[in-house]
Homo-oligomer: A and B are copies of this chain.
Amino acid sequence: MHLTRDPIDVAALLSSVRPSDGGVCLFLGVVRNENAGRSTTRIEYEAYGPMAEDELARIARGVELEWPGVQVRVRHRVGSLEVGEASVAILACAPHRADAFAACRAAIDRIKSTVPIWKKEFHPDGSSDWVDPTRGGVTGHS
């Protein structure tokens, strides 16, 4: 399972490093305290669960095929996250670091572009917005 309501267990992810790995690249996407100039208090992540699971698995598998020898592990959080909490974690392990970096970067870029997950930012005044990356920020608040 790639989606989780519980905090992402980074130590558990790191335990999947193999004896043949020399380079490990871990990316964490973290809830920031601001976006597009507005303060954020928390973010709610919503997923089309079964499809998001399939897409995350497909992306991990695709990156592993594209960078042979790399192992990719992905976790994405759903539910309400506070500032500082990790919403996504990608672990890419490889014999050498260049592949680990490239695979990790490709995985997060693809996750952001195709996995059916949405986020609603909450502001100090109680208002909230669905984030719309295609509009360079947020959509009308809901």
A positions within 8 Å CB-CB of B: 10-11, 14, 17, 19-34, 83-84, 86, 95, 97, 100-101, 104-105, 108
Contact = CB atoms under 8 A, between A and B. Distances in A.
Contacts of A84: 17, 19
Identify the 4 closest CB pairs spanning chains A and B, nearest first.
A24-B28, A22-B32, A19-B33, A26-B26
A33 B21 CA distance: 8
How many copies make up the complex? 2
Contacts of A34: 20
A24 B28 CA distance: 5
Contacts of A10: 10-11, 14
A24 B8 CA distance: 14
B19 A83 contact: yes
A29 B101 CA distance: 12
A27 B23 contact: yes
Given A10-B10, A24-B28, A101-B105, 7 more contacts: A14-B28, A17-B30, A17-B84, A19-B84, A25-B25, A25-B104, A27-B97
Nearest to A100: B27
B23 A30 contact: yes
25 contacts: A10-B10, A10-B11, A11-B11, A17-B28, A17-B30, A19-B83, A20-B33, A21-B30, A22-B29, A22-B30, A22-B32, A23-B28, A24-B27, A24-B30, A24-B86, A25-B25, A25-B26, A25-B27, A26-B26, A27-B97, A27-B100, A32-B95, A97-B108, A101-B104, A101-B105
